[in-house]
Chains A and B, each alone.
Chain A
Amino acid sequence: MDQFTLNWIFIGASFALYIGIAIWARAGSTSEFYAAGRGVHPVTNGMATAADWMSAASFISMAGLIAFTGYDNSSFLMGWTGGYVLLALMLAPYLRKFGKFTVSEFIGDRFYSPTARLVAVICLIVASTTYVIGQMTGVGVAFGRFLEVDKTTGLFIGAAVVFAYAVFGGMKGVTYTQVAQYCVLIVAYTIPAIFISLQLTGNPIPGLGLFGDHVGSGEPLLAKLDALVTELGFASYTGHHADTLNMVLFTLSLMIGTAGLPHVIMRFFTVPRVADARWSAGWTLVFIALLYLTAPAVGAMARLNLIDTVYPNGTESESIDYEARPDWMATWETTGLLKFQDMNGDGKIQWYNDGGVGAAKMALTKLETADNPDADKIAAAKEKVASLEAKTADSVFTANGWKGSELSVNRDILVLANPEIAQLPGWVIALVAAGGLAAALSTAAGLLLAISSAVSHDLIKGAINPNISEKGELLSARIAMAVAICVATYLGLNPPGFAAQTVALAFGLAAASIFPALMMGIFTKVNNKGAVAGMLTGLIVTLIYIFMHKGWFFIPGTNQFTDADPLLGTIKSTSFGAIGALLNFAVAFIVSKSSDPIPAEIEELVESVRVPKGAGVAQDH
């Protein structure tokens, strides 16, 4: 059976499983759409939350970003897990005690202000839409590969599937479907990692294998990898090369953002008791950690295997002939996410750190072979190639007769290609396909539902037209979902970054707007005006900073700065969420101090969310 058929059997079977469970579970609990977590054990709830949370960014993209950068991208690992500590200690138990269903309801009630609720809804919509763009990037990569079409076609097909999946609606609320999705996802992620760890280090646990010895050479795996990458001119894998301030801010931004994302927080509103909210956060992190402890091993081992594929006899010897390249390279070439251009005409693949010469040459070729060649752009591209070549003229690689790195590998393909690179059996490759799609689809659909309910329930019914009929509300929910997916698909064609980077921007926005408001609502007596001013400042300043670096409304080419040379010192747009959060806190305290204190009944509300006693069940309003 060929790989293509095998992929579709696994993907088809996993989808049949989700739909089957949804139908089975639905029969008994139609009315419990919102309260999916109630009466569910914290372990089960933790597993479902983990599926909700881990998306294309975690599954498809993250290990690739770590693989190509090494230590410097550890921020993703610490940031996306460390946020759960904030969530468990500072938000989850108190929000559970408060006993409503959405984040914007808490903000609206605690700050006794419909304006505060409205601002919270806007923050939620902006962050979630950015998040969906990142998911669409991942979905495009996965569908492109498994349908063997180019990534744009893959993106359109993926968008259609996500839309259909989200319209299923209630399915998302069924905890057991998410439990199944978690199982598919984690098995798909860890099985190839275990195989590869055994191959390379003899240790079945990838997280331990990462620090073990390489079977072939007897040296420690990471020392071997450091040696190989530096021989090829790349920065060492384990070294710290990135700017420290930016790395700290980026990690902090991801942590705060994690604790400010509405679709995750919502899951803790509906557990049976306050104590369960505390345990649930722990169990969620257990299930997330299974993937996050494995990811750095996947990254390092994939990098090692990739170098080994290109230079089968070591980096000092000849690299492989393009004609003799493995099949997986050829299949990924059809998606356009892996490119080869023979710069020096020797028919072999050279892959090394060329100071950007190869990338510049590929960009030039793309311009020259376009349907309507643009003479000005071609001239500029030629100039760039010439200047880069001049800079690298005396490198050892140039002396070897190498004329630029000939292989361009998109970071987002690494996890999906990983089992093929390691020559694992076909069923493992198919399993990874099913896992990647489960991760991307479950989160994308969940976010679309969050956006549509925010628009129809909180925005239209809560603020614009309280008398809207149920039918009207449902219609506006569907329209909001369709608009959101069109926007995300359009922007996903030219995404502001790799999947995980785009998702990081969404976290920055949530960090700068939602988290400070929730924290101040519980731990301080900040008033309505302070909260509104803080949220608006955090959101607007962060959004402007992101747009200035990634293009206004993420439209390519409209940016004034780049992350390589950011506006403020070394602070990249992906790290700015932490600064936005600080501004949010500062503005909120100043405004609050200079206006009326909170009324007595709100003071009582704050006192009451601080003690678990008398929580009762969560109520709809």
Chain B
Amino acid sequence: MADNSSNAYWSANLRIIKISLVIWALVSFGFGILLRPMLAGISVGGTDLGFWFAQQGSILVFLALIFFYAWRMNKLDAEHGVEE
């Protein structure tokens, strides 16, 4: 495996991790806590969207993120020929 390919693989991985972590922080610390006042206008079952993100939505997004990462990385492994 050439060094260039290895570097490209690693920076592609880091980019995917960064994007995923931005979403991770946005739904939990963002929508769930800090940005909740901004979402107060959107009502969900007797409360607002921020409450829903704090108690349900963030968990569902976390799940989606992990499965997306696993799928995306398996594809990346194959593209760079570093799969097992």
A residues touching B (Cβ–Cβ < 8 Å)?
A: 71, 74, 77-78, 81-82, 84-85, 88-90, 93, 207, 210-213, 219-224, 226, 238, 240, 244, 247-248, 251-252, 273-275, 278-279, 281-282, 285-286, 289, 292-293, 296, 607, 610-615
Task: Return the contact of B55 from the options A74, A273, A289 (Cβ within 8 A).
Answer: A74
Contacts of B45 in A (CB 8 A): 210-213, 220-222
Q: A135 vs B58: C-alpha distance in the bound complex, in angstroms?
A: 27
B21, chain A: closest CB distance, angstroms: 7
Query: Smallest CB-CB separation from A72: which chain B residue?
Result: B54
Query: Smallest CB-CB separation from A286: which chain B residue?
Result: B63
Compute the total of residue contacts between A and B using a CB distance below 8 Å. 143
Q: A279 vs B13: C-alpha distance in the bound complex, in angstroms?
A: 16
> Interface 1/0s, chain B 61-77, versus A by CB < 8 A?
01101110110011001
Q: A332 vs B21: C-alpha distance in the bound complex, in angstroms?
A: 44
A447, chain B: closest CB distance, angstroms: 24
In the A-B complex, the 3 residue pairs with the smallest Cβ-Cβ separation, listed nearest first, are A220-B46, A211-B45, A222-B46
Query: Smallest CB-CB separation from A611: which chain B residue?
Result: B82
25 interchain pairs (CB within 8 A)? A74-B32, A74-B54, A78-B32, A78-B54, A84-B66, A85-B21, A89-B17, A89-B66, A90-B17, A211-B52, A211-B56, A220-B47, A222-B51, A224-B46, A238-B51, A244-B34, A251-B28, A251-B29, A251-B33, A275-B70, A275-B84, A281-B66, A611-B1, A612-B82, A614-B84
Contacts of B20 in A (CB 8 A): 85, 89
Contacts of B28 in A (CB 8 A): 78, 82, 251
Query: Smallest CB-CB separation from B10: which chain A residue?
Result: A610
Query: Smallest CB-CB separation from B55: which chain A residue?
Result: A296
Task: Return the contact of B66 from the options A219, A244, A282, A615 (Cβ within 8 A).
Answer: A282
Query: Smallest CB-CB separation from A288: which chain B residue?
Result: B59
Q: A81 vs B44: C-alpha distance in the bound complex, in angstroms?
A: 22
Contacts of A613 in B (CB 8 A): 1, 77, 81-84
Contacts of B9 in A (CB 8 A): 610-611
Are A282 and B67 touching (Cβ within 8 A)?
A: yes
Q: A615 vs B83: C-alpha distance in the bound complex, in angstroms?
A: 10
Task: Return the contact of A82 from the options B36, B47, B51, B62 (Cβ within 8 A).
Answer: B62
Are A85 and B62 touching (Cβ within 8 A)?
A: yes
Contacts of A279 in B (CB 8 A): 70
Q: A219 vs B43: C-alpha distance in the bound complex, in angstroms?
A: 14
Q: A247 vs B29: C-alpha distance in the bound complex, in angstroms?
A: 9
Contacts of B24 in A (CB 8 A): 82, 85
Q: A90 vs B65: C-alpha distance in the bound complex, in angstroms?
A: 13
B59, chain A: closest CB distance, angstroms: 5
Contacts of A85 in B (CB 8 A): 20-21, 24, 62, 65-66
Task: Return the contact of B84 from the options A82, A252, A612 (Cβ within 8 A).
Answer: A612
Q: A237 vs B63: C-alpha distance in the bound complex, in angstroms?
A: 26
> Interface 1/0s, chain B 35-52, versus A by CB < 8 A?
010000000111110011
Task: Return the contact of B54 from the options A77, A211, A213, A224 (Cβ within 8 A).
Answer: A77
Contacts of B56 in A (CB 8 A): 207, 210-211, 293, 296
Q: A222 vs B55: C-alpha distance in the bound complex, in angstroms?
A: 13
A603, chain B: closest CB distance, angstroms: 13
Q: A251 vs B29: C-alpha distance in the bound complex, in angstroms?
A: 8
B17, chain A: closest CB distance, angstroms: 5
B35, chain A: closest CB distance, angstroms: 11
- What 20 new A-B contacts, CB under 8 Å, besides A238-B47, A275-B84? A71-B54, A74-B33, A74-B54, A77-B58, A78-B32, A78-B54, A82-B28, A85-B21, A210-B55, A210-B56, A211-B56, A221-B45, A274-B77, A275-B77, A279-B70, A289-B59, A293-B56, A610-B9, A612-B77, A613-B77
Q: A275 vs B70: C-alpha distance in the bound complex, in angstroms?
A: 7
Contacts of B1 in A (CB 8 A): 611, 613
Are B46 and A78 touching (Cβ within 8 A)?
A: no
Are A211 and B70 touching (Cβ within 8 A)?
A: no
Query: Smallest CB-CB separation from B40: which chain A residue?
Result: A240
Query: Smallest CB-CB separation from B47: which chain A residue?
Result: A238
Q: A104 vs B56: C-alpha distance in the bound complex, in angstroms?
A: 35
B18, chain A: closest CB distance, angstroms: 10
Query: Smallest CB-CB separation from A201: which chain B residue?
Result: B45
Q: A223 vs B51: C-alpha distance in the bound complex, in angstroms?
A: 13
Contacts of B82 in A (CB 8 A): 611-613
Q: A437 vs B74: C-alpha distance in the bound complex, in angstroms?
A: 39
B56, chain A: closest CB distance, angstroms: 6
Question: Which among B32, B46, B48, B82 has the greatest number of chain A C-beta atoms within 10 A?
Answer: B46
Query: Smallest CB-CB separation from B23: which chain A residue?
Result: A85
